[in-house]
C-alpha cells in the first residue's frame, strides 16, 4: 500500500515527467531557441512576450515529446545501460502506453503553440521530432552515421527561435543552424567516447569509426575546426541581418580555441576523462557563444 501511494504521489509523478522529457536537456535546448529569438527580432519584427512564451512552452513540448518517444522505442535497450536503466519506463514506474500518451499529448500541444507563432516554426518543430524519433533513434543501433542524422534535429532549436521572431528562413537562420550542426559532432562524440562501455552494452554505434581511436579523435578535431569557422561567418558581412562586431568575433574565436585545446588533449590522451572534459567544455562553449552573439546585438 505504501509503495503504491509512493508510486502515485504528486512528487513521484512530477519527477517521472521530468525524467521522461529529460527536463535538464530540454531546458538547455530551449536556451538555444530563446537565443535565436532574441537575435531575430528587430523594428520590422518587434519583440513579443506572448510569442516568446509560446516558443518556450511549445519548444519544451517538442523536445520533451522527442525524448519521451525515444524512451518508449528504446525501453528494452535502456534496461541494459547503467545511465538509463532507472528511467521511468525501463524501471517500470511508467508503462510504455502512458509514456506514448505523454509524448503524443506534448506533440499536439507543442505543434499548436508553435503554429500560433507561425506555420514555419511549427514545420521545423515537426521535422525535428520526426528526424529524432523516426530516423536518428533507429539508426543508433545500425550505424555511426546516426550522429550525422541526429545533428539535424539537434541544430534546429537555434534557427527555430529566429524563424519564430521573423517568420522567415534565410541565410541568417541557416547560419545559426550551421553553427549548432557542427557543434553536435565534437559534443556527441565526446559523450560517445567516455560512455563507450555503457553504449556498447546496448549495441549503440556513436563514434565515427566505432572505436576510441586516433581516427575518431581526428574527426573531433576536424569538426571543431569547422565549428570555429562557422561561428565567425557573421563577422564577414555575408549573413544578412545576422552580424557580429570584430570584438565579438575575437571573443568567439577565443572560445573556439579553448574548445579546440581540449579536443587536442583528447587526441593526445585518448582517455574517457579527457572526453568528458571536452563534453563539458562544449556545453559551456555553445552557451557562451550565444550570450556573446546576443550581447553584441544589444550593444551595437
How confident is the model at residue 56, as a pLDDT?
A: 96
Name the grid cell of 82: 547503467
Distance between CA atoms of 289 and 248, rounded to whole angstroms? 9
Residue among 79, 26, 44 at smallest CA distance from 172: 44
pLDDT tens readout for residues 87-126: 999 988 889 999 999 999 999 999 999 999 999 999 999 9
List for the chain the helix, strand, coil content (%; round to 5): 80, 0, 20
Distance between CA atoms of 269 and 271, rounded to whole angstroms? 6
pLDDT tens readout for residues 15-27: 888 999 999 989 9
Which of the 8 DSSP states describes residue 165?
Answer: H
Distance between CA atoms of 62 and 21, rounded to whole angstroms? 9
Handedness of CA 23, 131, 124, 98 (dihedral sign): negative
Q: Please check whether residue 173 is in contact with residue 159, taking contact to mean a CB–CB distance below 8 angstroms.
A: yes
Distance between CA atoms of 188 and 185, rounded to whole angstroms? 5
What integer best gives the mean pLDDT of the chain? 92
Which of the 8 DSSP states describes residue 129?
Answer: H
Cell 536537456, located at residue: 25
φ, ψ of residue 77 in degrees (nearest 5): -85, -35
Burial class of 100 by CB neighbour count within 10 A (0 to 12, 13 to 18, 19+): middle
SS3 41: coil
pTM of the predicted protein model: 0.91
Q: Helix H segments across 133-170? A: 137-139, 146-166
Q: Which residues of the chain have pLDDT under 70?
A: 1-8
Amino acid at each position: 500500500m505504501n509503495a503504491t501511494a509512493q508510486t502515485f504521489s504528486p512528487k513521484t509523478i512530477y519527477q517521472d515527467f521530468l525524467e521522461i522529457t529529460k527536463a535538464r536537456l530540454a531546458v538547455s535546448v530551449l536556451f538555444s531557441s530563446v537565443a535565436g529569438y532574441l537575435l531575430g527580432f528587430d523594428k520590422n519584427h518587434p519583440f513579443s512576450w506572448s510569442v516568446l512564451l509560446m516558443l518556450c512552452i511549445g519548444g519544451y513540448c517538442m523536445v520533451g515529446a522527442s525524448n519521451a518517444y525515444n524512451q518508449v522505442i528504446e525501453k528494452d535497450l535502456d534496461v541494459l545501460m547503467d545511465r538509463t536503466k532507472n528511467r521511468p519506463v525501463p524501471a517500470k514506474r511508467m508503462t510504455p502506453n502512458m509514456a506514448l500518451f505523454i509524448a503524443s499529448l506534448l506533440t499536439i500541444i507543442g505543434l499548436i503553440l508553435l503554429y500560433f507563432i507561425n506555420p514555419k516554426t511549427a514545420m521545423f518543430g515537426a521535422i525535428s521530432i520526426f528526424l529524432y524519433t523516426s530516423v536518428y533513434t533507429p539508426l543508433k543501433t545500425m550505424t555511426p552515421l546516426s550522429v550525422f542524422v541526429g545533428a539535424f534535429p539537434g541544430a534546429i532549436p537555434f534557427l527555430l527561435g529566429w524563424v519564430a521572431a521573423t517568420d522567415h528562413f534565410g541565410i541568417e537562420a541557416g547560419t545559426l543552424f550551421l553553427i549548432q550542426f557542427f557543434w553536435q559532432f565534437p559534443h556527441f562524440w565526446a559523450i560517445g567516447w567516455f560512455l563507450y562501455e555503457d553504449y556498447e552494452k546496448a549495441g549503440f554505434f556513436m563514434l565515427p569509426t566505432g572505436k576510441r581511436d586516433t581516427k575518431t579523435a581526428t574527426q573531433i578535431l576536424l569538426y571543431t575546426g569547422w565549428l570555429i569557422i562557422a561561428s565567425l561567418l557573421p563577422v564577414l558581412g555575408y549573413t544578412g541581418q545576422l552580424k557580429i562586431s570584430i570584438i565579438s568575433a575575437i571573443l568567439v574565436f577565443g572560445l573556439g580555441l579553448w574548445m579546440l585545446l581540449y579536443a587536442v588533449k583528447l587526441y593526445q590522451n585518448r582517455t574517457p576523462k579527457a572526453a568528458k572534459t571536452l563534453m563539458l567544455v562544449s556545453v559551456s562553449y555553445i552557451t557562451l557563444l550565444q550570450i556573446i552573439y546576443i550581447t553584441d546585438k544589444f550593444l551595437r
